[in-house]
Structure 1
Amino acid sequence: MYGVLQVFMRSLRKLWKKAMSYIEENLGAPCIVAFMALLILSAIELALGNEDLASKLAEAAYYNLVAGVILQIVSIFRSERKAQERKAED
């Protein structure tokens, strides 16, 4: 049992490192994921008849989308700058 837990924890660490690496390269990813989750929750609440809560969730979702897009643009400029610095070093 202990060996299985060690393997699971090792796999979890690898997955965490990959996720953090992805987020470093794509700063807007968490906001865009939050946008999708909030929009789904908004649709569910609307289907249940909670229009006020659905509206607030949708508003929060769109704010996350705007933040995510802005952060993605920043990520693009950062990666382009890093690529130019690497070219200058070569």
Structure 2
Amino acid sequence: PEGPAAMMTAIFVFIKCELGHANDVAADIVDNVEYVSECYSTSGQYDLLAKFNLPRDMDIGTFVTKSVQTRPHVRDTFTVITFSPFTSSR
């Protein structure tokens, strides 16, 4: 890939929220956390799934611990680091 997307790393962060606060956390993340692309409510062990596009030279662990885990009403996170994207040729 070329262009600005090639300079970024996509990560997905599953987020567990304090009971009753998933919508508040989602709104806070999309309004106040840099590099967020999307945030979805989910079923199962975690309440939210957020996608972030980080600069390739950014430390992922530091970003998650300082920018996501410290948000109000966040109880736990699980981070998935991605490698090469596959896209449709349509």
TM-score by length of 2: 0.25
TM-score by length of 1: 0.25
Q: Higher helix share goes to which structure?
A: 1
Q: Higher strand share goes to which structure?
A: 2
